[in-house]
Amino acid sequence: MTRARALLFALALALAACAPPAEPPIVLDLSGATAPLIDPYRFGEGGATTDQRPGARPAQETDEGGLWMRMDRVEQDLRTSGNLVRDPELNTYVQGLVCALAGPYCSDIRSYVMRLPAFNASMAPNGVMQVWTGLLVRCRDEAQLAAVIGHEIGHYVRRHSMQLWRDARDKTDFLVFFQIAIAAARVPFVTDVVTYGVIGSIYAFGRDAEREADRIGLALMARAGYDPAAVPAIWRQVVREDEADRYRAFRTIYFATHPTPRERLETLDLLARGTRTERRESGAERYRAIMKPRRLDWLRDELALRRFDRMEILLATLVEDEPAAGDLRYMQGEVYRLRGDPGDEAKALDAFRAAAAAEAPPAETHRSLGLVLRRTGERAAADAAFADYLRLKPAAEDRAMIEALIGEAP
């Protein structure tokens, strides 16, 4: 038996060794193509004839028209939501990217940036697209954001919500589905990520729909000149975060509705490598110019979730691109200071010191540095750091508390 197993193992090894080097077939050829944006990509599943047409709206008396009307009311609520980010420059940027990707569907898709932590974006059947700040803070460049937005546009064009809805209606749980659908799209005034996670499950389009959206998304972003490698890259980052979380109580919301990340990653890798295209832009500098001045508050939202293991991965990824960014190094320090694993104190000190020496660190860097130094018994250095904090932020809300700490007997 043991011998048989060893033989099988050896055979398996040999087969693996014999496998040809992975040279994926060309699945999409964009070299020199000037075709219109979406029409050429009828990926053979026969969905194209039922695609949403640009500028079209379903007739009111149809079931689809009814769903759109309800979603329009939800959109009204969204416009007055406390989580809506109204920053005109940011909104212009995101909608601009939507238009660059969606082409003739540009004015059919309305993007809403929501101030909510965690990686997520969603598409309602009437073209309302939510982009969470937790997604913006996780993308390393424009190409990665284009990958996710392109995917969502894929859902819109193929009318996946409608298919899903009709499917549910044919079963018996139509009413439940409908109510949950409305609730899911309605945004409460609190950053209640857990609630979103639960209700988000109605957007589980199913594996085939996700594959379709993946392929359309990849085609759209590659067509717009972005590097297709960004598609597997962004998903890989999020999977790494998920796997690092020791509690795993909160899976990335997106994965509640987008199945089997591992298998999907492999498929996306093949698709990306099989895409022949001449332009392979990342748009990293343009992306950073918009996001960098805004991201500290978004990172604070992430920190408030206290999912330290995930945030450690996220920050390590961002720091690779910007080792001298004071805000990122400060946040790294906060993760280690608050997590408190063995060795975290030293890591926190390193990060705060690096932040203090970097460009534009937040004033709180010095406050946190003081707290860690105090913990390690370096009271004089701690007090000096606290004094730096109060000098840089004279109106700090916790000024009296910090002054009390400075004055405390050792």
Nearer to another protein, 228 or 370 (CB): 370
Nearer to another protein, 20 or 407 (CB): 407
Nearer to another protein, 25 or 343 (CB): 343
Question: Other CB atoms closer than 10 Å to residue 329's CB: what's the count?
Answer: 26
> 352: number of CA atoms within 13 Å, CB side?
27
Distances (CA, A) of 45 to 30, 50, 204, 268, 292: 20, 11, 19, 18, 41
The rounded distance, in Å, linking the Cα atoms of 105 and 85 is 23
- Least distance in Å: CB of 56 to another protein? 37
H/E stretch holding 150 reads helix 142-157
Nearer to another protein, 148 or 372 (CB): 372
Nearer to another protein, 214 or 301 (CB): 301
- Least distance in Å: CB of 404 to another protein? 4
Nearer to another protein, 268 or 371 (CB): 371
> 42: number of CA atoms within 13 Å, CB side?
10
Site residues (vs another protein, CB under 8 A): 188, 190-195, 247, 304-306, 338, 340, 371, 374-375, 397-398, 400-401, 404-405, 408
- Least distance in Å: CB of 251 to another protein? 16
- Least distance in Å: CB of 247 to another protein? 7
Cα dihedral 324→326→327→329 (10° resolution): 70
Neighbouring-strand partners of residue 200: none
- Least distance in Å: CB of 118 to another protein? 12
The encoded tokens of residue 146 equal: 């284009």
Neighbouring-strand partners of residue 25: none
Neighbouring-strand partners of residue 359: 325
Decide the pairing of beta strands 128-132 and 121-123.
Answer: antiparallel
The rounded distance, in Å, linking the Cα atoms of 216 and 212 is 6
- Least distance in Å: CB of 248 to another protein? 12
